[in-house]
Amino acid sequence: MKAEFSVNGTRCDIDVEPRRTLADALREDLGLTGTHLGCEHGVCGACTVLVDGEPVRACLMLAVQADGCSVSTVEGLAAEDGTLHPLQEAFCAKHGLQCGFCTPGMLMTALDLLDREPAPGRERIREEMSGNICRCTGYVGVVDAVEAAAQELNPR
Ligand code: FES
Ligand code: FES
């Protein structure tokens, strides 16, 4: 089946089996391997991308369901000249990542949170990030990073 959607502002046309997930289409058909696959059944959050601005588990969504949508992945976060997004900078500075496998999903979830709530408290950040599992850092650095990025993006 054919599907046409935009990824990080670029139009993409793919021809895939109806059962192909959006995660597989992004990684294997479009070469955007920043979106990671962990559990592949909606539990870990590693595959989180934004579809029409909403966070979505790309392992649970079919590629054809994205037809006509606007998809944002971690590859779209940095500026064209390579300058990292404040969230990416903060994850580095605050030790929000270790192996980094969970980080793309964390970043996209945090991006959605800060879009809706410019100044979330730490408990709120914990609550919103609770669907993203990290197996190696613990979460203090992640919360620190999201808090720091919020201050950077929306100074009070
Ligand atoms: S790979 Fe999609 S939620 Fe784990
Ligand atoms: S940094 Fe390794 S799983 Fe999160």
Contact at 8 Å (CB) between 19 and 62? yes
For the chain, what percent of residues have pLDDT higher than 90? Answer: 97
- 87 near 111, Cβ under 8 Å? yes
Instruction: Give me the pLDDT at residue 13, please.
Output: 96
Task: Give the whole-angstrom CA distance, residue 32 versus residue 24.
Answer: 9
Enter the pTM of the model.
0.97
CB within 6 Å of ligand 1 — which residues?
37-40, 42-47, 57, 59
The Cα 17–Cα 42 span in angstroms is 20
Indicate if the pLDDT at residue 156 is higher than 80.
no
> Of 107, 9, 11, 115, nearest to 53 (Cα)?
115
Number of separate helices (H) and strands (E) present in the chain: 5, 5
**Is a pLDDT exceeding 80 seen at residue 12?**
yes
Q: Mean pLDDT throughout 11-22?
A: 97
What ligand 2 atom has the least distance to the C-alpha of 97? 1
Angle 152-115-24 from CA coordinates, rounded to 5°: 110
For atom 2 of ligand 2, the residue with the nearest CA is 99
Percent of the chain with pLDDT over 70: 100
**Is pLDDT at 31 greater than 90 in this prediction?**
yes
Q: How far is the CA of 143 from the centre of ligand 1 (A)?
A: 21
pLDDT value at residue 111 = 98
- Which ligand has the shortest distance to the CA of 46? 1
Q: What are the CA-CA distances from residue 128 to residues 1, 8, 80, 113, 131 (Å)?
A: 35, 23, 28, 7, 7
- Tens-place pLDDT, residues 124-143: 999 999 999 999 988 999 99
What burial letters (b/e) apply to 67-104, b meaning 16+ CB within 10 Å? eebebbbbbbbeeeeeeebbbbbbbeebebbeeebbbb
* Whether residue 135 has its Cβ less than 6 Å from ligand 2: yes
Give the tens place of pLDDT for each residue, 106-123.
Answer: 999 999 999 999 999 999
> Does the C-beta of 132 come closer than 6 Å to ligand 2?
no
pLDDT at 17 over 80: yes
State if residue 139 touches ligand 2 by the CB under 6 angstroms criterion: no
**Which of 136, 139, 143, 146 most suits a substitution to test ligand 2, by most atoms within 8 Å of the C-beta?**
136
pLDDT in tens, 69-106: 999 999 999 999 999 999 999 999 999 999 999 999 99
Predicted local confidence at residue 154, as pLDDT: 87
